[in-house]
Amino acid sequence: MTRLHVGVATAIGIAVLCALSIVRTTRPPSVVPASAPAAEFSAERAMTHVRAIAQRPHAIGTQDHDRVRDYITGQLQALGLRPTIQQTTGIGTRYREVGQVQNILARLPGTQPGRAVLVAAHYDGVEAGPAAADDAAGSAVLLETARALAAAGGARPTHDVIFLFTDGEEAGLIGAAAFAREHPWAKDVDVVLNFEARGTHGRSYMFETGPGNLDAIRVLRGTPHVTAGSVFTTIYRVLPNDTDLSELAVLGRPALNFAFADGVERYHTSRDDIAHLDPRSVQQHGTQALSLARAFAAGVLPRPFTGDAAFFDLPLIGLVYYPQTLSLPLGIIGLALVGWVGARVRQRDPRWLAGAVVGAAVTIVSVVAAAGIVMYAANIIAALHALLPWGGAPSWSAVYAAALAFLALAVTALCYHVARRFGEPHAVHLGAISVWGVLALAASVFAPGASYLFSWPVVFACIAALVPAERRVAAEIALWVAAAVTLLLLAGLAYTTAAIMLGLRGSGGLVLGGFTAMIAWLLAPLVERSTPSLRWRGAAWSFGLAVALCVIGVFAVRRSEARPAPSILAYAHDADSSGAWLATTVAAAGNPWTRHVMASGKVVDPRSWLTRIFGQPRRMMARPAPRVELPAPTATLLSDSINAGRRFVTLQVSAPPGTTSLFMRVVGAPVIASIIDGRPVDRTRFRQQGTDWTTEFWAMPSTGAVVALTLQAGGGMELELAARSPGLPELRGVVVPDRPYDVVPMQYGDVTIIRRRIKF
């Protein structure tokens, strides 16, 4: 076999391993048909529920919300369960949100009633879309799981299973907060399983756990089709992101959180519909829900206390896990193996130290350079697409992800060529694995849940380097085993993180560029052995492929019915002045339709009430609009007293009919404490503390809400109110054309906002 043939075979082998790793982390399992045995989960059966729930938008406080509530309770009753409604004022503890929630609960009794497994999903959606994936899919998973458990040949689980359909998740997790804070069943919960979505297709990732997850991961190991990694749980714990599990976490119980995230272009838009929801994602969701509910309900409750686990999944092997306490010994072993490789290299090469130092330095330089160049290139690509008539979302494109990966390979190959001028391959490789070894040890100390990303590749790379070159077959096998471990662990992770979870711009580009470079350095001995003369030609070929893929991306990545541009329009009316505006966010103004509607719009002052109500850090733009007289929110003083230097004010706050949410802000006096509908507001867990007292009340009843405030005495108080309702009023002289097929409403959609200020 010629060198060319060997090189081509090596490239194909690496490509196959990369493809296997990426497919493993992106493609969900096949759908189980409705004809399957009754005790199995069938996505085909579950999709019947999705179609019923996701007919129309059903945000909290809307008529369709109540339609969905009645559908779910009817289905639970048909299964022989006794659903109940927890109707109360939910007070968020992560965000400044409150509201009238209607949580749906049903309990499947076990043979030893009392302790329980909680399976949760939210049934509300955003105002802009029918919410088929987020989270009609989760609600359907709960209904089909309840059916399968109830139909399991009459065999009841040992422990109870509670099905919780939370309300107001999109309104700040207020339904989950109400359950954890008030419902009597909350004290019975010993395990929490939550099901979410941040896209419309793809694998269902187990991305978050409660503390002490080793025991839960042991149970998860027996679940089919698991995709999970402790790196995700490690990162998620420090991210400013939340699901209902963030509120249920106060129960202090073992927990597992699942979501599919591909198709983020349709997330929280009108395209989150039946047509774009992949039933295979629902199948994976449901298979895990049913398997875990059975396993936990049949096991010991409460669960034994354990520490955290390091875990990851591999093709054919499934979920691999071990206690995080082993991460540090594994990191030490990796560094010790690097030292052993160094001793071997020293015996063979008198100039080994110079080559190793150059290899380590160039490895670091290439990783930093590749990460920075890829991030910068991703930003340029995004800016280019913003100028193209057909637009598109390049940050979520597989074509551009491949292009940027080849760009990172070009940078790395060029750096490797430079390093080889100063050292032999084994010495340069020693420098590269030394960097890996140090990173593995550092990660095992500071982020043990992520340390496996570095420890296992460096261990296998060192083992391959220790096999004598004279044993050609053994050395070749060892190199391919090391390559397989590295690529199966990291290639899919890099792609998923960059192109699905974070996007290619910003931190996603850093991850893709940096990990591609690091992977390339570990594969360098395999490539060098196959094609020793490639070097700078490898950089040229990689750069050429990157350019070719970018050219393809320019024409292939464009707005479409399936990949639409998001938009928001708001008619904003100040009841205390003559001002009225048509407004949108700057981020949503990047498509021709919105630019046409907002042709005379200007960026709003960040201190404007418009920016405040839409929420920082959104930048707003607005244009003057004709004034339409509409009813404004009101507040009535119920009591006002001063005692011990504090002022105690109680208000009855009301919103006009049709209001979905009412924004409230106190101006002029610091708020020390607040109570809404008799429930104190706990600010200790808020994501952002802030200086002003603000809150947003969702689904306010016609009787209004009672707000009791404790303020510092000695000054006046002003209450700012802003009522938001769906749709735009008819504006004289203003024509808002229908959206084209590739522009869709997102999040709130089109809304009317009426603002006023009241002094007390």
Helix (H) or strand (E) holding 748: strand 743-759
Q: How do residues 88-142 score in pLDDT, each as one tens digit? A: 999 999 999 999 999 999 999 999 989 999 999 999 999 999 999 999 999 999 9
Check residues 228 and 351 and name the one with the higher pLDDT: 228
| Confidence (pLDDT) at 4 | 67
Residue 615 has pLDDT above 70, yes or no: no
State the average pLDDT over residues 604-610: 83
Q: At what angle do helices 425-446 and 327-348 cross, to 10 degrees?
A: 160
CB of 162 closer than 8 Å to CB of 117:
yes
Taking the model in full, what pTM does it have? 0.94
CATH architecture label of 32-307: 3-Layer(aba) Sandwich (3.40)
List where CATH 3.40.630.10 sits in the chain: 32-307
CB atoms within 10 A of CB 326: 16
State the average pLDDT over residues 647-676: 94
Q: How do residues 723-745 score in pLDDT, each as one tens digit? A: 999 999 999 888 899 999 999 99
Q: Mean pLDDT in the chain?
A: 93
Q: Are strands 743-759 and 565-574 parallel, antiparallel or unpaired?
A: parallel
Q: How do residues 426-463 score in pLDDT, each as one tens digit? A: 999 999 999 999 999 999 999 999 999 999 999 999 99
Structure confidence at residue 18 as a pLDDT band (50, 70, 90): very high
Peptide bond into 66 cis (omega under 30): no
Helix (H) or strand (E) holding 16: helix 3-26
In the structure encoding, which two tokens stand for residue 244, read together? 């209902």
The amino acid at residue 294 is: R
314 φ, ψ (degrees, to nearest 5)? -130, 150
Q: Which sign, positive or negative, has the C-alpha torsion 665, 667, 672, 677?
A: negative
337 φ, ψ (degrees, to nearest 5)? -65, -35
Residue 365 has pLDDT above 90, yes or no: yes
Structure confidence at residue 371 as a pLDDT band (50, 70, 90): very high
The amino acid at residue 479 is: L
Residue reference for tokens 């007293």: 641
What is the C-alpha to C-alpha distance for residues 386 and 370, in angstroms, rounded to an integer? 24
What is the C-alpha to C-alpha distance for residues 223 and 48, in angstroms, rounded to an integer? 24
